[in-house]
Amino acid sequence: MDHRMPRRRVYGADHEDPDPGPRPGHAYGELVGGPLDGLLLDVTGWSADRLAEEARLPTEIGRYGTGGRAHYRRRESDPGRWDWAGDSR
């Protein structure tokens, strides 16, 4: 890994966390598109059924602001990526 490259940020990490990147021993999916594009979703311990479901992630930076959710679905052809499916309240 290039030491000049910033570490990827994990969805839900505290903004004041000095190390908001991935943790050893955890499994992550990359969020693609939408308001959370580029963040990593920690899916450690998720069952196959849970991984097949849509993730509805609370966010203030989506279409509906505070109280809104960004929806992501695991990409069938590339399970390490989760594609944006829209926003909701």
User: Per-residue pLDDT tens for 66-82?
Assistant: 999 999 999 999 999 99
pLDDT at 64 exceeding the cut of 90: yes
**What's the whole-model pTM score?**
0.88
Q: Which of 16-25, 44-53, 77-86 has the lowest mean pLDDT?
A: 16-25
Give me the phi and psi of 41, to 5 degrees please: -105, 120
Find all residues with CB under 8 Å of 3, minimum gap 6, and list them: none
